[in-house]
Structure formats: C-alpha cells, structure tokens
A and B are shown apart, each in its own frame.
Chain A
C-alpha cells in the first residue's frame, strides 16, 4: 500500500452579491459546521448595495482566521468576483459555493476521502438537492457517474463541484461573457484536460430555491441559456467534434447536432421473417417500410442494407426490398430455428460498412437525420455503442436507454409521453447509459468483432444486455441518442416471453445488477406498466 497521503486543503470560493443576511449567515455557518478542518473560505463581496453584507462577513472573518473577506470596489458580476477569489486561493482544490446555498456537514470530509483514493483526480462532483424557504430538503438529483456526452447537453455536474486549483488556473479560470453559464463553461474546459473525474453519489450540497435563482427556474435568466449554448459550441470546436449546439425542449438543455463524415460506409443490418402487420390502421410489410423510412430519413449516401431473412419470407417482400434499396441491398438467407443473435452475427459478417446499425424490422424512422445522429458519435474512439430513442405507435416511449439495478434489466421511462423531459432532462439530452436496446443501435464494425457480437447462447432475450456488458468491459461508453427518434411497433412481432434461463445466463456471466452507474434507481423508478384491467380491489363503489 502507498503511504497515506495528507488530506488536501480546500479553498472554498464564494462570490457574494446582496443576499438576504440570514441566508448568507446560514451559508457561512454551513462551512463552519464541517466535520473537517483543512479549508479556507474566500468570500468576495461584489460591491453589494447593502452595507450589512460586508460587515457580517467581516465579523465571521474575525471569529475564524480561515475566513477571508475580499471587497470589490465595483460590481463586476459573478465571473469577475469568482476570479478574484480564485486568485487568492491557496488550497490544492477549489470548492465552489454560492452565497445562498448550504454544504452538508460531511461534504468536505467525504470529498477528501474520495480524493485520497486516487492521486490524479482533477475534478469531482457530488449529488445535490434543494432547500426550500422552510429549510426542508427536497428534489434530490442522484447524478450519473462521469458522463462527458451528457455534460454537452446540460450542466449536470453543477454542485458540489471541486476542481484542482492548478488546472483551473491553467485553463484561465472563469470567462467573462459566459455569465449565467460560467460554471458550465469552466467545467467543460477543465474536464477536457482532466486526468480523472470522480462522482461521489451522495447529496452533499443543498441548493436554495429562491425566486429568481436558477435553482427554481433557469428562465429567470435567459442570458444563461445563450451563454450555455456558446460554452457547449466552443467546447465541441475545441475537442474537434463536428457539430452544432442548439437549444432543446427545456431551458438549460442543449441538443448536439453532429455531422457524419460522408466517407463512412454504414451497413444497416435487419433481421426479418417478412411479416405484415396493421400499423396506424393500415396493413403493411413491416420490413419494407422500415427500410424505406430508414433510407428516406437520412442524407447520408454510403448506406448498405443487409437483410437477413428467414427462408419462408414471401418473394413479394424481397422484390419490394429490391425496389426500395436497389443496388444497396444485400440479402442473406437464414433457414435455422429463430435465433436473433445468429441472424445479427450473420448479417454483420456479410456487411461491408465500417459502421453497423442494428435495426429491427418493426421500426419506422421519425426524425430526419436519425442515421447521422446515431452513427456520428462513434467517431469518438471511446464510444462503443449508440442507441436511438424509440416510441410505440401511440408515441409513448418504448426505449430511452437501459438501466440495470435491483437484480433486473429495466427500460426506465417506458410509457412516458413524447413531450416529457424526464426528472432531469433524461429524455431530451444525449447521455451515457449502461445499455441500449438492439432494436436500433450502432457500433463500429471493428468493435463488434472485438467484443464478439451478439451471443448466440441467448436466442431471444437479453442478447443486447450481454452486448452492452461486453462493450462496457472493453472500456467503451454507450450513448443514448435522444435526437435519433423512431417508432418501434414492438408488440407486433414476437410475443415477448422472458425466459428465466436466458436471464440466468446473463447473470452467470456478469453477475446480479445492484445499482445503475448512469441512472440511479431512485430516478428510474417507478417502472410504469400498461394497465390491462383494473383489479377488483381497486374498483370504486363496493
């Protein structure tokens, strides 16, 4: 074991501008109440109009030498004030604390413990909740583990944020012109360089919900969204992702619209038996419309369509496919008993693309550019798998990423409507997930062969779960792509039967899942179910 290192010194930086005095006192008291002593608190008064503000801070500074008051001669707004604080910081780490928020009493001690586990932590964030005017805590945000893609879609790490002082100075501190999203901008720049980012899954920060503060409503500060967009766009440009950041369904959420390299050859791999079904009131051959909509919904040119079809597939379906996909069609016949995994593996073996997209035959594309958005993130070498957002025919969510917890493999947010954002934007931002469904997912062909494709020992269920585990084991990220939207008429194909044997096979390989790294069970629950019949004991009356 390495010799025990000393706990680091924390420099808490708190820019202050005219808070209610009692709220400010509570904030300062929450620092004094820490069960950990190696800290300094730098309070920068940004020329508050209320004279009592600097006086109160000065009193605290007199009582405890670790507290320092910096008085600005002008009102410089939060960026200038925060940078004044950064300049004076002596600690190894910067801790950002807003003037009306509260630290949990164990905040610094828990952070210090987590920092001691690794020498190379450059950025750390914790969970948080809100504190109301009555002092009650509510609305806990149980955050995902380090998720760089999600940070492009929202400032999810927020509070408590702890940053290595040296790195903050290297990247130039807070930037003027990003007021309102200055934290997002700083954290994007710091994490681009960070050697390690750590998430402490405990609520160690209480964000005060005051009218006009962003905790209640980011719309109170429209300039924050504009600054956030710029911060994300500049980040994308810096790291070399060809994409445009645009506003999303909620304030403070951003959609990253990527550009797919035209040189990429993409192979769609679709297994089918050529069934027809009634969709939106009309009968259709599912696979034909799947391929038609897939090709119509993309501007990408180099697309190959590999259809793995059971031998009983009607000739009329194959003819229709030839008509729709022309010379881009590759037909692979299959005459063994049903095995989804084998069909996919065969399809990919016949594919010539450097990207493969798995597509069930009962999908239909909704969003134009679905393929570009799904495939482009795979240009980041540590992204191994991407999955689309899928809806049932009634526009309720069928898939928005998997979460594995409580000994089960779950589809969180199933049956939510298309306009719902999820508790913290989960349904609208692209984000890291533990797994995605194979009904519509994409990989680099190389990665597919590297991890062994779909396991053929799981013919019907959980083969995608197994694939996601294998991708994670290879050290690669799996992304849910919220702006690649399709219908999945799932119930119209196979009768979903969950074989216990298959579940056990996954468990024997990968163990029993307890808690999800990217979507905590608290946020994933409750799992909604379709109500087929109201049970007798819930019926009204007698």
Chain B
C-alpha cells in the first residue's frame, strides 16, 4: 500500500498537468477561431482569381504561360510537406508525414530524383531519415501565416519549375475540414491547372473580355499569383488544422487527467481509511491487553 503522502503528491502533480492541458486547450481554441477567420478572409480572393483564370482559359485558348505547361517526361519532382512547427497536437503532423511517404513509394519507380522541401519544423523531423530523397529548402513557420511569406515560398518553387530544375511540384498538407476532422491530401501545384478550367463545357463564347495589353501579359501576372494563393491556402489550412488538432488532443488529455485524479483520490481515501482502521485495531487491542 503506497503511503498517504505519496498519493497526495501524485494528485498534486496530475492537477498541475491538468492546469497546463486545460490552458493549452483554451489557447488552441482561441487561435483556431483566428485561423478560421483567416481562411474565410482569403476565400473571396481565391475564388475570384480562379474564376478569372478559368474565363481566360476558356476564351483565350492560345494564351500560354510557362507555369501552365506540363513536361513530357516527369523525372524530377519536388514535394513540399506542410506541417506545424510545434507538437502536442495528436497525430496531426504524423498523418501528413505518412501521407507523404505513401506518395513517395508510389511515385518513386518512375522518378530520377525526389526533392523534399519542408514548411514547418515537425515534418522535417518526421521525414529526416527518409531514404533516397534530396533535401530541399526548409521554411519554418514562426508565428502567424501571412501572405508575403506564402508568396515568397511560391515564387521560389515557381522559379525552380520554370528553370527546369524540377518537372513537377506537389504540395502535401492537412486539409481543415472541421474542428474534428483534418485530412492529409496532396495536390499538384506545378504545372498549375485551375480546378474549374476544363475547356469546352461552359456556356457560349459570348462573355469575352477586352484584355490589355494581351492575354499572355495578363497570364504573366495572374498565374504566379494563383500559385501563391494555392500555397497560401495550404498554409492557412495547415494552421487551422494544427490548432484544431491541438485542441482535440488537449481536450482528451484534460479528460485523462480527470480520470487519473478520480482514481488517485479513491486510492487516497482507501489508504486513509485503512490507516484509521489499523490505528483503531491497535487502540482496541491495546486496551484489551490491559
């Protein structure tokens, strides 16, 4: 039977842990709301951009851009794994890393080279020992995701693609579906194709625009921006997902500490009762001996 003091000390320590997990849960909850509103705020921009790109793709078939053209043989791909900088968020980062690994296995036979670029520290740590990949760049997140940061990453990726250093760029990130659900997915970033730009099935050619100076010049500003938006979106989803996952993990941890405290309290009461009974027995038997 552990003695009373030990049990009391353990209860105290579990209570302190509970304070921490509970505080972390609340902080994650507040951050999640902020992260969600950032996603909301970015949506109109992304949607309009998509719509315009689709419109140009539809009405100006001859306009071209280097980032839209796919390569005939894809030998070198760059995979960008987006994760969080910090842990204590359940399986959030592990699932992104696992998804990336599965994709590597699938693609590897046809490739000569696989460049692995990381956004966020945890993915880098998880995939450190991945064999047969070339280590690319690393971008820590450091605080809140902002557009210039995402744009900078996107520009570097686009340049490597345009210069022919890689033939395809893929993004792996956790999509924020709901507070309880974040699903890792991967998407082809480059060559870029806008999701709705399937030619032919739209309405008639009536709505064409006057474009100045030319469709190609317009694409030169539009396409890099659309790539930036795609990266920005991945970072935002990752950010919201991180906080949601941490909130869920800390919620579970808080619940566990509650259970632990309950069972320790029970143990404590039993031990105390046992001690009292023992003392009583001693007193009684002592009195009888007289």
Say if A and B assemble together: no
Taking Cβ atoms with an 8 Å cutoff, the residues of B that contact A are: none
